[in-house]
Amino acid sequence: MPASLLPPSQIQFQPGNVRNGLAQLVLTLAELIRELMERQALRRIDAGSLTPAEIDRVGTTFLHLAEEIERLKAHFGLTDEDLNLNLGPLGKLR
Amino acid sequence: MDSSDAPADEEKTLLELLDRLLNAGVVLCGDLVVSVADIELLYLRLQLTLSSVETARRAGWFVPAPNGCHDWPEGRHAG
Protein backbone atom coordinates (compact mmCIF):
# COMPACT_ATOMS: atom_id res chain seq x y z
CA MET A 1 0.00 0.00 0.00
CA PRO A 2 1.41 3.46 -0.86
CA ALA A 3 2.62 5.45 2.14
CA SER A 4 0.20 8.24 1.27
CA LEU A 5 -2.78 5.98 2.04
CA LEU A 6 -1.55 5.01 5.48
CA PRO A 7 -2.42 7.14 8.49
CA PRO A 8 0.33 9.66 9.29
CA SER A 9 2.96 8.62 11.81
CA GLN A 10 2.97 10.25 15.17
CA ILE A 11 5.59 11.39 17.57
CA GLN A 12 3.94 10.93 20.91
CA PHE A 13 4.85 12.70 24.08
CA GLN A 14 3.39 10.92 27.07
CA PRO A 15 3.58 12.15 30.66
CA GLY A 16 5.76 9.24 31.75
CA ASN A 17 7.68 8.94 28.50
CA VAL A 18 8.90 12.41 27.61
CA ARG A 19 12.47 11.23 27.13
CA ASN A 20 11.58 8.73 24.41
CA GLY A 21 9.36 11.18 22.55
CA LEU A 22 12.15 13.72 22.59
CA ALA A 23 14.72 11.12 21.52
CA GLN A 24 12.49 10.05 18.61
CA LEU A 25 12.03 13.64 17.45
CA VAL A 26 15.73 14.53 17.68
CA LEU A 27 16.97 11.26 16.17
CA THR A 28 14.48 11.51 13.30
CA LEU A 29 15.93 14.89 12.36
CA ALA A 30 19.52 13.75 12.95
CA GLU A 31 19.03 10.71 10.72
CA LEU A 32 17.38 12.77 7.97
CA ILE A 33 20.25 15.28 7.96
CA ARG A 34 22.89 12.53 8.13
CA GLU A 35 21.43 10.71 5.13
CA LEU A 36 21.01 13.94 3.17
CA MET A 37 24.66 14.86 3.81
CA GLU A 38 25.74 11.34 2.88
CA ARG A 39 23.96 11.59 -0.47
CA GLN A 40 25.54 14.97 -1.11
CA ALA A 41 28.96 13.52 -0.24
CA LEU A 42 28.36 10.65 -2.69
CA ARG A 43 27.51 13.16 -5.39
CA ARG A 44 30.80 14.95 -4.68
CA ILE A 45 32.67 11.65 -4.90
CA ASP A 46 30.90 10.73 -8.15
CA ALA A 47 31.73 14.16 -9.55
CA GLY A 48 35.39 13.51 -8.75
CA SER A 49 35.86 16.72 -6.79
CA LEU A 50 37.22 15.08 -3.63
CA THR A 51 40.76 13.79 -3.13
CA PRO A 52 41.25 10.16 -2.00
CA ALA A 53 42.27 11.43 1.46
CA GLU A 54 39.09 13.51 1.71
CA ILE A 55 36.96 10.55 0.58
CA ASP A 56 38.61 8.42 3.25
CA ARG A 57 38.02 11.01 5.96
CA VAL A 58 34.41 11.68 4.99
CA GLY A 59 33.70 7.93 4.76
CA THR A 60 35.10 7.25 8.21
CA THR A 61 33.15 10.15 9.71
CA PHE A 62 29.85 9.01 8.19
CA LEU A 63 30.52 5.49 9.43
CA HIS A 64 31.04 6.77 12.99
CA LEU A 65 27.94 8.94 12.72
CA ALA A 66 25.83 5.96 11.63
CA GLU A 67 27.24 3.85 14.47
CA GLU A 68 26.51 6.56 17.02
CA ILE A 69 22.92 6.94 15.82
CA GLU A 70 22.51 3.14 15.95
CA ARG A 71 23.75 3.18 19.53
CA LEU A 72 21.31 5.95 20.51
CA LYS A 73 18.46 4.11 18.75
CA ALA A 74 19.20 0.96 20.74
CA HIS A 75 19.49 2.96 23.95
CA PHE A 76 16.03 4.49 23.54
CA GLY A 77 14.48 1.31 22.11
CA LEU A 78 13.71 2.94 18.75
CA THR A 79 13.53 1.06 15.46
CA ASP A 80 14.40 2.33 12.00
CA GLU A 81 10.69 2.59 11.28
CA ASP A 82 10.26 4.91 14.29
CA LEU A 83 12.68 7.35 12.66
CA ASN A 84 11.04 7.19 9.25
CA LEU A 85 7.83 9.15 9.60
CA ASN A 86 4.97 8.74 7.21
CA LEU A 87 4.09 12.30 6.25
CA GLY A 88 0.73 11.37 4.71
CA PRO A 89 0.30 13.17 1.35
CA LEU A 90 4.02 14.03 1.34
CA GLY A 91 4.94 10.34 1.42
CA LYS A 92 7.64 8.92 3.61
CA LEU A 93 10.33 11.02 5.20
CA ARG A 94 13.18 8.85 3.92
CA MET B 1 10.16 5.34 -21.99
CA ASP B 2 10.98 2.08 -20.32
CA SER B 3 10.97 2.34 -16.56
CA SER B 4 12.64 -0.99 -15.87
CA ASP B 5 15.59 0.73 -14.18
CA ALA B 6 13.30 2.24 -11.53
CA PRO B 7 11.15 0.10 -9.26
CA ALA B 8 7.49 0.65 -10.17
CA ASP B 9 6.35 1.18 -6.60
CA GLU B 10 9.20 3.48 -5.68
CA GLU B 11 7.78 6.43 -3.82
CA LYS B 12 9.07 9.93 -3.56
CA THR B 13 10.38 10.71 -0.13
CA LEU B 14 11.13 14.04 1.46
CA LEU B 15 14.77 12.96 1.60
CA GLU B 16 14.92 12.50 -2.19
CA LEU B 17 13.15 15.80 -2.73
CA LEU B 18 15.65 17.64 -0.52
CA ASP B 19 18.57 15.90 -2.22
CA ARG B 20 17.40 17.08 -5.65
CA LEU B 21 16.51 20.52 -4.36
CA LEU B 22 20.05 21.00 -3.01
CA ASN B 23 21.44 19.99 -6.37
CA ALA B 24 19.39 22.51 -8.28
CA GLY B 25 19.50 25.20 -5.61
CA VAL B 26 16.53 27.29 -4.55
CA VAL B 27 16.03 30.94 -3.75
CA LEU B 28 13.09 31.88 -1.58
CA CYS B 29 12.02 35.50 -1.54
CA GLY B 30 9.34 37.05 0.55
CA ASP B 31 8.07 40.36 1.86
CA LEU B 32 6.34 40.47 5.19
CA VAL B 33 4.75 43.30 7.13
CA VAL B 34 3.81 42.64 10.73
CA SER B 35 1.03 44.78 12.10
CA VAL B 36 -0.39 45.08 15.58
CA ALA B 37 -3.87 46.46 15.94
CA ASP B 38 -3.78 47.64 12.30
CA ILE B 39 -0.55 49.55 12.91
CA GLU B 40 2.25 48.40 10.63
CA LEU B 41 5.30 47.87 12.83
CA LEU B 42 7.79 45.50 11.17
CA TYR B 43 8.93 45.02 7.62
CA LEU B 44 10.84 41.89 6.75
CA ARG B 45 12.43 41.12 3.39
CA LEU B 46 13.58 37.54 3.16
CA GLN B 47 16.04 36.25 0.59
CA LEU B 48 17.02 32.72 1.46
CA THR B 49 19.32 30.75 -0.82
CA LEU B 50 19.76 27.04 -0.27
CA SER B 51 21.88 24.76 -2.42
CA SER B 52 24.80 22.39 -2.35
CA VAL B 53 28.21 24.08 -2.21
CA GLU B 54 29.04 22.80 -5.70
CA THR B 55 25.93 24.36 -7.18
CA ALA B 56 26.56 27.64 -5.36
CA ARG B 57 30.14 27.65 -6.62
CA ARG B 58 29.01 27.00 -10.20
CA ALA B 59 26.55 29.86 -9.93
CA GLY B 60 29.25 32.15 -8.55
CA TRP B 61 27.42 32.74 -5.25
CA PHE B 62 30.06 31.25 -3.05
CA VAL B 63 33.78 30.56 -3.32
CA PRO B 64 35.02 28.33 -0.48
CA ALA B 65 38.68 28.67 0.34
CA PRO B 66 40.81 25.59 1.12
CA ASN B 67 41.19 26.66 4.77
CA GLY B 68 37.43 26.56 5.27
CA CYS B 69 36.99 30.34 5.32
CA HIS B 70 34.67 31.89 2.80
CA ASP B 71 35.51 34.45 0.19
CA TRP B 72 32.54 36.14 -1.33
CA PRO B 73 32.79 36.97 -5.01
CA GLU B 74 33.80 40.52 -5.95
CA GLY B 75 31.01 43.03 -5.63
CA ARG B 76 29.01 40.94 -3.21
CA HIS B 77 29.31 43.53 -0.44
CA ALA B 78 29.16 46.54 -2.74
CA GLY B 79 26.60 49.13 -1.68
CB proximity under 8 Å: B 11-50 to A = 11-15, 18-19, 22-23
Regarding an ipTM greater than 0.90, the answer is: no
Is residue B65 in some structural domain? yes
DSSP code for A7: P
Taking CB atoms and an 8 Å limit, are B12 and A39 in contact across chains?
no
Q: Does residue B40 lie in a domain region?
A: no
- Average pLDDT score, chain B: 74
Tell me whether A92 touches chain B (CB under 8 Å): yes
In a domain, B12, yes or no: no
Per-residue pLDDT reduced to its tens digit, B31-73: 888 888 888 888 888 888 889 988 888 888 776 665 555 555 5
Which residue range forms the structural domain that includes residue B58? Answer: 52-79
**Calpha distance A39→B61 (Å, rounded):** 22
Q: Chain B residues with CB inside 8 Å of A91's CB?
A: 11-14
What SS3 string covers chain B? CCCCCCCCCCCCEHHHHHHHHHHHCEEEEEEEEEEECCEEEEEEEEEEEECCHHHHHHCCCCEECCCCCEECCCCCCCC
Q: pLDDT band for position B8 (50/70/90)?
A: very low
Sequence spans of domains, chain A: 3-90
Backbone angles phi, psi at A17, to 5 degrees: -140, 35
The answer to whether the Cβ–Cβ distance between B22 and A40 falls below 8 Å is yes
CB distance B11–A35 less than 8 Å? Answer: no
